[in-house]
Amino acid sequence: MARPHIESIHAYDVSAEPVVEGPLAGALRRELSADDQDGSSTALVTFPAGWSGDLAGPRPIELFALSGGGELGGLAVRPGTWAWVPTQAAGALLSFAVASDVLVMVEPERPTATGEIELVDTVAERYAESMVAVPPGLAVKVMRIDPETSDRSWVAASVAGWLGYKAEIHPTVEEALLLRGDCLLDNSGEMRSCDYFWRPGGIYHGPFATRDGMLFFFRTKGGNMAVDFFEVDDWADKARAYYDAEPYVTGRGRPHADDVRR
């Protein structure tokens, strides 16, 4: 069957299983979602220090590094590095000098080579305006738009206290890992760092609210992302209750660095 609707799970709550074969052999893998028809999957993979493997093969592989560090094709992989390894890519040796956690997305098979390895340091990349109409305070960094499928990969971030005011529906699959911060969705509740969802097309979701800001890694699957928006009558009251559930100021009682130095 196609991947089921997952909304949402904490990635580190999924049991880690050793990988015994294939390009990721020797790592530990937490499967977050998978399609048993085309073999595609998304997993949180922990690579031990000193691990190396060749990712070249019949399936493109997408990576987003969460911790640790290493190299892909001789280029540095750091926390926040995103990479695309196409079918039968040359120089696709991945290695890690220290234990590292990486979001690994294995694509359906593509019969022919489709280009060169792409790598983006998302920390250094500049933010731009969102791809769709949203309230001010949400920005994006687009890493890739697939020339064959129009699938997209991007990072989205909001300022602290950001409040979205509309729910949405779109025909594309949406997949995301919350990297930092918090997020309240009217349709599914609160998300925290390292929470993950796989949302099929046509699923009503949102609006969004955040206390501390949010940093997401997103992907869409299934073509261009056209969005229909909807007003939600009682959302303002729900968001207000979410904000009021914690003090508006954080770090109360924590000594300031200047105080520690004294």
Domains in the chain: boundaries? 14-121, 128-244
| Domain 128-244: CATH superfamily, name plus number | Jelly Rolls (2.60.120.10)
Q: Which of the four CATH numbers 2.60.120.10, 2.40.30.30, 3.30.450.40, 1.20.120.80 does domain 14-121 have? A: 2.60.120.10
Average pLDDT over residues 207-230: 93
Domain 14-121 matches domain 128-244 at the CATH topology level: yes
| Residue for token pair 């390894």 | 85
Give the closest residue to 96 by CA, choosing from 145, 45, 172, 151.
45
Whether the per-residue pLDDT at 260 is higher than 60: the answer is no
Most confident of 16-20, 109-113, 229-233, 258-262: 16-20
In this prediction, residue 37 carries a pLDDT of: 93
Q: Where does the pLDDT of residue 137 fall: very low under 50, low under 70, confident under 90, or very high at 90 and above?
A: confident
CA–CA separation, 15 and 28 (whole Å): 9
- Residue 187 predicted with pLDDT over 90: yes
Reported confidence tier of residue 136, pLDDT bands at 50, 70, 90: confident
SS3 189: strand
Give this prediction's pTM: 0.93
Quick one: pLDDT band at residue 241, thresholds 50, 70, 90? very high
Q: Give the chain's mean pLDDT.
A: 92
Which tops the pLDDT comparison, 114 or 152?
152
| Burial tier of 16 (Cβ tally within 10 Å: 0-12, 13-18, 19+) | middle
